Chain A
Amino acid sequence: MYVICAGGGKVGANVARSLMRLGHELTLIEQRRDQFERLEDEFEHQVQRGDATELFVLERAGITRPPDIVLALTGDDEDNMVICQLAKEKYAVPKVIARVNDPRNQSHFDLMGISPTICATSSIMALVEHEVPEHDLIHLLELRKENLEIVEVQIDKDSPVTGKRVEDLSLPEGARLISVMRDGQAEIAVGSTTLEAGDQVLAILEPGKEDELRRVLLRR
């Protein structure tokens, strides 16, 4: 496939290198002169110098073909948003992926319908949540397009659902249990699955239903 990668810093250059190794055709765009010169030794004609939010720079990189995917991986969130909007709406690029540098800007990406996005800070925080046991409800995955998320809940001995069957729970509307992990074994949660203390339960739900789910499963 053909890929345009905007931003040739650590993230962009490594992604570009990996895609090229997989045999994909790619153009990398980097604005800073010193960084561009470093990249030129390695990427030769596959790196171009310019501001990837400028239409003529994108066009020079072949955006009118259009590419199968545009990656907006610069260190500037506003630039990444504009690159994605131009790619999708002006040049009909079928897929874009954007890097979010500041997690506080996530809502702006969402507002503009830019998806999927990837944010290192948010990913690290999700891992911290996963590793730190005092969090009783852990966000594992956000499915932005579907407006759903997958969370993990640890059932403890004080939980009101211990010993109950899944089909007897009054789960909030818009929430379902996916699986139950017990003694290192995961099983799909069905109506007859009985919950026990120590179970790690995966649930899928609409964002905003976390508190209701927590109340049902943990009475908190």
Chain B
Amino acid sequence: MKALIIGCGRVGASIALQLQQEDWDVTVVDENEDALTRLGDHWPGTFLVGHGMDVDLLRSAGIEETDAVVVATDGDNTNIVIGQVAQKRFGIDCVVVRMLDPARADFYAARGIRTVCPTKTAIDTLGEAVRACGIVPSAKASA
């Protein structure tokens, strides 16, 4: 199975390494050459320098034969545009897009794009962590 990861920051690089370990054939794209260092000293997959909006680059990254695309650059709008290009232009079914803004993530999720919003996860997790302390709000406690 082939996977294409756009954006090799903390998130993109970690997913690339995980999938690689699970025997995926992984190609990583990042604008910055230095991002390769995030993949460790012996990255066995492919690494291309370039912008994910560049259709020629996506083609040379093998997007036409790719089974899954993960878009995780540091820009929400860049991610959602690349995600739509992968899904609509190249017909990839499994496209996962990182969006930090929950409102935009919901809007695009409703339009059939798999968005993952770490902010929403953080909000839920933090809220649960606070509630797990078992402190009862004073207004309710006195009621």
Contact = CB atoms under 8 A, between A and B. Distances in A.
Contact of A82 (B54, B88, B104): B104
A116 to B, nearest CB: 19
Contact of B81 (A55, A81, A86, A89): A81
B89 A79 contact: no
A89 B107 CA distance: 9
Interface residues of B, number: 18
Contact of B78 (A56, A78, A90, A112): A78
Chain A CB count within 10 A is highest, among B54, B89, B103, B111, for: B103
A108 B54 CA distance: 10
A103 B90 CA distance: 20
Contacts of A77: 53, 81
A77 B103 CA distance: 20
Nearest to A55: B103
Q: Is the interface of B mostly helix, strand, loop or mixed?
A: helix
Interface in A89-142: 89-90, 104-105, 107-108, 111-112
Interface in B79-94: 80-81, 84-85, 88-89
B75 interface: yes
A121 to B, nearest CB: 16
Interface string B93-129: 0000000010110010001000000000000000000
B76 interface: yes
A interface bracket (residues with beta carbon within 8 Å of B): 10 to 19
Count chain B CB atoms within 10 A of each CB in A56, A90, A105, A108 and give the residue with the most: A108
A111 B85 CA distance: 8
B77 A111 contact: no
A217 to B, nearest CB: 32
Contacts of B88: 111
B48 interface: no
A111 B55 contact: no
A54 B101 contact: yes
Nearest to A80: B77
A54 B103 contact: yes
Contacts of B84: 108, 111-112
Contacts of A111: 84-85, 88-89
Contacts of A54: 101, 103-104
Interface of B: 53-55, 75-78, 80-81, 84-85, 88-89, 101, 103-104, 107, 111
16 contacts: A53-B76, A53-B104, A54-B101, A55-B103, A55-B104, A77-B53, A78-B75, A81-B77, A81-B81, A82-B81, A89-B107, A89-B111, A90-B107, A104-B53, A104-B55, A107-B89
Given A53-B76, A79-B77, A82-B80, 16 more contacts: A53-B104, A54-B103, A55-B103, A55-B107, A56-B103, A78-B75, A78-B77, A81-B77, A82-B76, A89-B107, A90-B107, A104-B54, A104-B55, A105-B53, A107-B55, A111-B85
